[in-house]
Structure 1
């Protein structure tokens, strides 16, 4: 199965091939000019091997496309960092990852987050976060540091109250009822959302189950300013930094946000979910 990193290498290879063809060079001629084995050009164009920054500079120089080198080098750097497997990232536990988030979130002014089925991490109660992290640790057989991970996540939430950060958080109504936590924990989480929805810097949107979607919500993602998109898959975290990727996710976010209810309407959905929990308990 092609991984996102492999797909990115293949996309880079297509761009390199187009540049070569526009320069009217054969693969063998380019390889000879660069002093490479003749098969290297084909491997780079098909995403079989990673291109280095020096490879890109040489390619662009020989093809008379120096003006494209900087953008292509940025692509190479993003491929190197975009795909990190959870087991490799979290081999020292979840606390380290949470503390890393504190560092890069401190430099972010505008947070845009979409989650289809869970409450975004910055809005979670300690009990809800513990349920999420416990399930994640158990699934991936990671070191059990739930308490430390929860403490670090709670530390992250101080950003909601200091500095000039702004938060636009959108999630589907299903997140209000999904059984990822015991009913009493979910009730506490919903109470927390009602309180956070009144913060001036938090723009909280809930997409009603039967809302007409402007975009199909395939997975969750976070956009940090206009610099980085973070996507959590089952097996890995993707970090996207290319302007074209950020533009795509920004467009998706605007369409999802356009389907959401805000203010009094959003609070009515949360209150309704709380009432259903109370009815189930009685």
Structure 2
């Protein structure tokens, strides 16, 4: 996952190095013009350090290429938007995150998602969502609001009934059994899944324990249309938008789907999980 960020930083550094060289400047000479250290020039050009927007502007100005500042700063903004730490997002609370996601979902036509250990947010019941968000608070050492966030997550689910949108989700069977909340919470969640799986615009698949798909991801992800992929890590939310990366995730999604069961077979597994939750 960090490969994408590293590569974007390296591409930005490589472009800045090309600009310096085209100006006939050595790293030492550019450092003197900018009153920087030469190691800083080297770190930026090799992608070990990301420059600030003002530093990019000064760099290209010193090289006589001020007209390229806007494009390079846009590249920097794309790089920074790839990785957003949860601690930064939680400054506005869980409800702020839910509001931001709801706004983004309005623009998406086709959702493709995979989760190995939990039910996707759009399919969660209030009690299940509350348990998930409480767990997130413990992980992030946060006391952020929960109830407002639960309400907003449930409100987000209105998008499931939009016939102009398509939802294609797959979970590993383990997601049906990992306990979130109490037994009643899990039973109600399974009942909710069965109901949603009958909607015509929803395809809900389960990779059974005894299935062996060509490839099974070890982390969850969400593909929005065919333009971006969102991956939630322990520390941050990562957004990938390079076409080659999106295509790779689409390929992985299809491989995972080939080992999943859908419709009545999926509902049978969900029903079995519901029975286990209450015994």
Q: State the TM bucket, normalised to the shorter chain.
A: 0.7 to 0.9
Secondary structure of residue in 2 paired with 1:92? helix
1:116–1:172 Cα contact (<8 Å) kept: yes
* Structure-1 residue corresponding to 2:216: 216
2:90–2:144 Cα contact (<8 Å) kept: no
State the TM-score, normalized to the length of structure 1: 0.82
Matched, 1:126 2:137: no
Describe how 1:150-169 pairs up with structure 2 within 5 A: 150-169=150-169
Cα distance between partner residues in 1 of 2:42 and 2:263: 55
2:113–2:169 Cα contact (<8 Å) kept: yes
Secondary structure of residue in 2 paired with 1:270? helix
* Structure-2 residue corresponding to 1:97: 97
Matched, 1:186 2:183: no
Cα distance between partner residues in 2 of 1:19 and 1:250: 34
* Structure-2 residue corresponding to 1:228: 228
Cα distance between partner residues in 1 of 2:18 and 2:112: 35
List runs of 5+ in structure 2 lacking aligned partners: none
* Cα distance change, pair 163–199 in 1 and its aligned pair in 2 (3 A): closer
Cα distance between partner residues in 1 of 2:238 and 2:110: 19
* Structure-1 residue corresponding to 2:106: 106
Report how many residues are paired: 273
* Structure-1 residue corresponding to 2:247: 247
Cα distance between partner residues in 2 of 1:252 and 1:90: 31
1:173–1:209 Cα contact (<8 Å) kept: yes
Cα distance between partner residues in 2 of 1:27 and 1:42: 11
Secondary structure of residue in 2 paired with 1:261? coil
Cα distance between partner residues in 2 of 1:204 and 1:123: 10
RMSD: 3.4
List runs of 5+ in structure 1 lacking aligned partners: none
